[in-house]
Amino acid sequence: MLNIKSMAILLKITSKLDITPVLNALKEADIFEDAKNPQEALAQLTAEKAGTLAFNVIAEITPQLDTIATFLPQLAAAYKSVPIEEAVELDALEVIDEIIHDEGIRAFFSRAVRRKVKPQRAGLSANIISGA
């Protein structure tokens, strides 16, 4: 469950992550090259394409994990409502699995990523218009 304590830590995490490399990798992946709209792209999403997307995202985010590493025990403690000393002893894969499948956290990250992408799209549109 996304609680206030977790949300504050997630805000810190999202502010530290640079999604530009992820967006660039996804653009270069070209796995939806024939899609004319998002619905068509989703209809084309196969297990293989989903795996490719996941791999590209993980490959681009992994080098940045050191910038958010100090927040991970805090996030686990806040999410599980346990002291940090107990949180650092939890099974990391189980906690990560719980967090990534939490609808509240997924919605939070979706909104946060959209906000980070909007300025980049505006800048890209300005470059296209100006011919840069």
Query: How large is the angle between the packed helices 103-130 and 92-100, nearest 10 degrees?
Result: 70
Q: Is the pLDDT of residue 82 over 90?
A: yes
- Report helix, strand or coil for 90: coil
Number of domains within the chain: 1
pLDDT score, position 79: 93
Cβ count within 10 A of residue 122: 10
pLDDT score, position 33: 65
**Eight-class DSSP state of 82:** S
- Domain extent for 9: 4-130
Q: What's the average model confidence in pLDDT over 20-33? A: 73
pLDDT score, position 40: 75
Select from 57, 55, 100, 58 the least CA-distant residue to 75: 100
Position 77 confidence tier, pLDDT thresholds 50, 70, 90: very high
Q: Is the pLDDT of residue 119 over 70?
A: no
Q: Is the pLDDT of residue 13 over 60?
A: yes
Q: Do 57 and 26 touch, CB atoms closer than 8 A? A: yes
Give the integer Cα–Cα distance in Å for 96 and 88: 13
CA–CA–CA angle 80, 101, 70 (5° rounding): 50
For the question of whether the overall pTM of this predicted structure is more than 0.85, the answer is no
Q: What's the average model confidence in pLDDT over 38-52? A: 75
